[in-house]
Amino acid sequence: MIKAVDKKINMNSIKKYLGLVWIALAIYSYSILLKTAIERIKLVPTTDTIIQWSIFAIIFLPIALGFVMFGWMALKGAYDSLPESSNAVED
What integer best gives the mean pLDDT of the chain?
Answer: 87
Q: What whole-number distance in Å separates Cα of residue 8 and Cα of residue 6?
A: 5
Which range among 10-14, 33-37, 78-82 shows the weakest confidence by mean pLDDT?
Answer: 78-82
Report whether pLDDT(86) > 60.
yes
Q: Let me know: does 74 contact 21? Beta carbons within 8 Å.
A: no
Q: What whole-number distance in Å separates Cα of residue 23 and Cα of residue 19?
A: 6
DSSP string, 16-46: HHHHHHHHHHHHHHHHHHHHHHHHHHHHS--
Report whether pLDDT(8) > 80.
no
**Is 69 part of a structural domain of the chain?**
yes
Between 43 and 90, the higher pLDDT residue = 43
**Is 56 part of a structural domain of the chain?**
yes
Domain count, the chain: 1
pLDDT tens sequence across 36-45:
999 999 999 9
**Is 62 part of a structural domain of the chain?**
yes
| Mean of pLDDT values over 5-10 | 60
Q: What whole-number distance in Å separates Cα of residue 28 and Cα of residue 32?
A: 6
**Is 19 part of a structural domain of the chain?**
no
